Structure 1
Amino acid sequence: MMPPAAIVTDIEGTTTPISFVHRVLFPYARERMAAFVATNHPALADVPEPRLETLLGWMDGDEKITALKTIQGIIWAEGYESGALIGEVYEDVAPALKRWARAGLRLYVYSSGSVAAQRLLFGHSSAGDLNPLFQANFDTRVGPKREAASYGAIARGIGLTAGEVLFLSDIEAELDAAAQAGLKTCQLVRANDGTLASTRHVTAADFGEVAAAFGLARG
């Protein structure tokens, strides 16, 4: 198997514990949502009335709606910048990303969270500022994560063929869509996240196993 030229990584359940999102980020945004709605921020323009009830309903359903993700990102920005929030990343992630970047791999992020939220998490992470390692970030504005067209658009956008790109995620349906578009795929099966291993994709317990499976830099 030829090593990929680029890696596109998911965040929740892949680089970051699922519990961080649900235990820390979501409650932080929820507690401040009423105050945010009262500001009549321009980001609220795409939220139907009654806005607070709509936003809380979307949060309860874990909806991947761009307007919600944008607003959450704005609220989280205050938390990261004040030091109240620190982005959690698994211990194996930062060393692997740094090795891969030094080896010439092009690194990208694709998450349902907004690009702003992604950059906040990696910019204020438990491993320091990881943003310089990534060449670009993608969110749902490029398309839904469970549709093959989204991954094709990313590959074209970064100037590579689909087969040159490896997509990392914990979600089998996302990996299915990426594989349908022609990308290489690997499922992260993190013990702490209770991920069910796929039978259709290469699996790895951490980024070290990803490196071993795809011939990437390991030391």
Structure 2
Amino acid sequence: MTLKAILTDIEGTTSAVSFVFDVLFPYARAHLPDFVRTHAEQPEVALQLEAVRQETGETQADVEHVISILLDWIEADRKATPLKVLQGMVWQQGYEAGQLKGHVYPDAVRALRRWKTAGYSLYVYSSGSIQAQKLIFGYAEVGDLTPLFSGYFDTTSGGKRDTTSYQGIAKAIGFAASEILFLSDIKEELDAARQAGMQTIGLARQGGILEGHTTVADFEAINL
């Protein structure tokens, strides 16, 4: 089967889950309140605060109450778009200040570089915002990896367990779904991509099998 593009998840796939939960989330939790207070009047921040009010139905919530909602969402790992956007803004400050460095597994770095050189188009699909995705790869420990990628997709393209999301991504990329390989550590995401017609490989870095899909322990074991 012809393969032209590779679409990869981040958390648990190219990057350690612990980086997100032990580094990024605590950083956002610590810095988001002051960031929101300082920048609440800026249009791009105000837009996200209003989105929180609309999503919760608390249309009259003041800035401090919106901050408390955002902190609750962080604790619950809520996949809410306004939270993801605001977290991305906070993380950008951290990356630019040198306080954060994106974690990408060395085996993933080697494989992505090899695939790019071989002529495959590389894309990212993660529940983190596109901005957050670009930051992880742009400020990676090994340097800027963003030149490897041709595009990024997040939850604005739909849920990662919804088949229609992958159909839409294939259309946006411009390849037939069957020409795209999707990599993830979540069976339900792989199932949805497979149902959309994509090829799939599961990453199980801690061992085990993602039922119904070819499963490997790292990127070095992926044979295109």
Q: TM-score, normalised by structure 1?
A: 0.92
Which position in structure 2 is the counterpart of 1:149?
164
- 3-state DSSP of counterpart to 2:106: coil
Matched, 1:45 2:50: yes
The corresponding residue for 1:56 is 71
Matched residues in 2 for 1:103 and 1:124: separation? 24
1:203 to 189, 192, 215: 215
Whole-angstrom distance in 2 between the partners of 1:120 and 1:196: 30
Report the equivalent of 1:190: 205
Give 1:14's aligned residue.
13
Following the alignment from structure 1 to structure 2, what is the Cα–Cα distance between the partners of residues 84 and 34? 18
CA deviation profile, 1:103-161 (whole Å, cap 9, x unmatched): 11000000010111100110010121110000000001111111000000000001111
Q: Does 1:35 align with 2:34?
A: yes
CA contact (8 A) 2:124 2:151 kept: yes
Structure-1 separation of matches of 2:2 and 2:106: 23
Distance 1:28 1:60 in 2: 12
TM-score normalised over the length of structure 2: 0.90
Percent identity, aligned pairs only? Answer: 51
State the Cα RMSD in Å: 1.1
| 1:45-194 equivalence runs, <5 A | 45-48=50-53, 49=61, 50-191=65-206
Assess if the C-alpha contact under 8 Å between 1:168 and 1:186 holds in 2.
yes
Structure 2 contact 92–135 (Cα < 8 Å) conserved: yes
**Partner Cα separation in structure 2 for residue 61 and residue 180 of structure 1:** 29
Equivalent position amino acid for 2:33 in 1: A
Opposite residue 94 of structure 2, the aligned amino acid is G
How many angstroms does 1:196 deviate by? 4.7
Contact 2:187 2:211 (8 Å CA) reproduced: no
2-structure distance, mates of 1:125, 1:180: 33
Q: Which AA in structure 2 matches 1:5?
A: K
The one-letter code of the counterpart of 1:206 is D
The amino acid of 1:168's aligned partner reads L
Structure 2 gap segments, 5+ residues each: 54-60
| Distance across 2 between alignment mates of 1:131 and 1:30 | 26
Q: What is the alpha-carbon distance in structure 2 between the residues aligned to residue 17 and residue 52 of structure 1?
A: 27
Aligned partner of 1:13: which letter? G
* Gapped regions of structure 1 (runs ≥ 5): none
Give the conservation status (yes or no) of the 8 Å contact 1:37–1:51. no
CA deviation map 1:41-93 (0-9, x unaligned): 32322112320121111111111111110000000000000110000111101
Shift of 1:209: 1.1
